[in-house]
Amino acid sequence: MKDRNRIEEEIKRLKKQKNAVILAHNYQLPEVQDIADFTGDSLSLSQEAAKTQADMIVFCGVHFMAETASIISPDKKVLIPDEKAGCSLADTINAEQLKKWKEENPDSVVVSYVNTTAEVKALSDYCCTSANAVQIVNSVPVEKGILFLPDMFLGAYVAKVTGRKIHIWPGECHVHAGIRKQDLDEMQNSHPDAEMIIHPECGCTTNLMYQATNGSSINGNGHVKFLSTGGMIKHVKESPLREFIIATETGMLYPLRKGNPDKIFHPARENAVCKYMKMITLSKVLRSLEEDIFEVRVPIHTALKAKRSIDRMLEVTN
Ligand code: SF4
């Protein structure tokens, strides 16, 4: 504990000295979330950081998220405490593969989930999140074909809800395997009074979104909600219910338990853990600030094109 206190004090001192802001994704380790200036989902974190006067962003998340922060704040130095913190979903498609797919499907509109590299965003027409993917696809003229990537479950969900014919990239997140419908059924049977909340922030729960629209009842008691991070925290606080089953990466349980000590939260599955997210530790955050590592810089021409896909998404949703 003494060591942890010393590391935290040193992080705070260096953060002030370097005029840095620390961002932590909801799936980060609790001690990393505690030291952060902002916690949240990937896009909202980058948007919050852009509003600050900080010279430096330390992004405690995975690589594509740090790239997104660099795209939105090109004047700030962006660091990721572990450069190996990648994303198995983002890694399913690279720029070369997307170029080829576009050539095979000329005149199609490319809609990319936010879990993609900067290079892939730069080749995309629209970026989207799981919360706005349906709205983005609906905004595309009906005569246009759509290439949706990289999450096949989110793509299938969007195709089902919109009724559009969509070409879907066969990518998925390894944490998918961690949360299955049968886990939800078992949890619901063990905790019949609990409300089920599914947070489709990352690829780990998009298969459940798909199943919910595919004639597969997610649970028996009708208490099921798909909520964003902010929506989840607000809903749980205001709800008269005391017990919840949380279907997402287990890191999300930390802020929920912290903010609602009188309520009970069960993970839909204990081992729904993103190993990449857990690579960031307090010691690595400290080292990052001490040595200015590892810098994530998106080349300006790529950043400008990638930002266009994010701006187009915001034009549709705002
Ligand atoms: S949970 Fe899956 S989609 Fe999310 S960062 Fe981890 S590997 Fe990527």
pLDDT tens-digit series, residues 102-152: 999 999 999 999 999 999 999 999 999 888 999 999 999 999 999 999 998
Q: Is 277 in the pocket of ligand 1 (CB under 6 A)?
A: yes
Examine the pLDDT at 213 and tell me if it is beyond 60: yes
Cβ–Cβ < 8 Å for 171, 149:
yes
155 CA to centre of ligand 1 in angstroms = 16
Cβ–Cβ < 8 Å for 306, 298:
yes
β partners of residue 21? 57
- The secondary structure of residue 4, as a DSSP letter, is H
CATH fold of 2-86+277-297 reads: Rossmann fold (3.40.50)
Atom of ligand 1 nearest to the CA of 87: 8
* Chosen CATH of 90-172 out of 1.10.10.410, 3.40.50.10800, 3.40.50.620, 3.40.1280.10: 3.40.50.10800
2 CA to centre of ligand 1 in angstroms = 32
204 CA to centre of ligand 1 in angstroms = 6
Which residue has tokens 């080349």?
Answer: 299
Cβ–Cβ < 8 Å for 270, 250:
yes
pLDDT tens digits, one per residue of 215-274: 555 544 445 677 777 778 889 999 999 999 998 889 999 999 999 999 999 999 888 899
| Residue boundaries of the structural domains of the chain | 2-86+277-297, 90-172, 175-267
Examine the pLDDT at 43 and tell me if it is beyond 90: no
Cβ–Cβ < 8 Å for 172, 220:
no
Question: Which homologous superfamily is 175-267 in?
Answer: NadA-like (3.40.50.10800)
| pTM reported for the whole predicted model | 0.92
How buried is residue 293: exposed, middle or buried, by Cβ count under 10 Å (0-12/13-18/19+)? middle
User: 175-267: same fold as 90-172?
Assistant: yes
Helix (H) or strand (E) holding 311: helix 300-317
Query: Reduced to 3 states, what is the DSSP secondary structure of residue 60?
Result: strand
Roughly what angle, to the nearest 10 degrees, separates helices 42-51 and 63-72?
A: 30
Cβ–Cβ < 8 Å for 197, 244:
yes
Q: Is 125 in the pocket of ligand 1 (CB under 6 A)?
A: no
